[in-house]
Structure 1
Amino acid sequence: MITPDEIKKQYKDEWVLVEVIDEDEKGIPTQVELIAHSKVRDEIYEVLKKMKGKYTHQFYTGDIPKKGYVVAFNEIQF
């Protein structure tokens, strides 16, 4: 098991999928098991589609844009 903060340090600027093992009284994960990580969000979605019967959480470990900024993602496949 690992904490979400440890995952954020270990997998900087990546999308992460974890199984929630324990959470606090507000429902925030405190202990998790890493399932998958990738710089490509769609790869996490593909793994998530196969997950059944697990309480999962996905998040991005990088910086979130400041309020008032807009971010657009465009995926180009070759």
Structure 2
Amino acid sequence: MGRPMLCPDAVLADVMAMVVDGQSDSAIAAVLNGAEVPTPAGRPQWQRCHVWRLRRTARALRLLDGLVGEGSRAA
């Protein structure tokens, strides 16, 4: 069953767009903190590990495939 996805679609899309643009997990966390976006768990501060974990979810990887095309996903 697992936990329900708590990250809003718009936040996930923004994160994955930044990944495609080549931004680091730390840089993405800084952008989200600057915009005062809460983490999926509702906490006020994003850390690099939050971004790392989020962008490796199945939902994020499906979105990434749509952004860059199947087979050209960056690790």
Q: TM-score, normalised by structure 1?
A: 0.26
Higher-strand-fraction structure: 1
Q: TM-score, normalised by structure 2?
A: 0.26
Which has more radius of gyration?
1
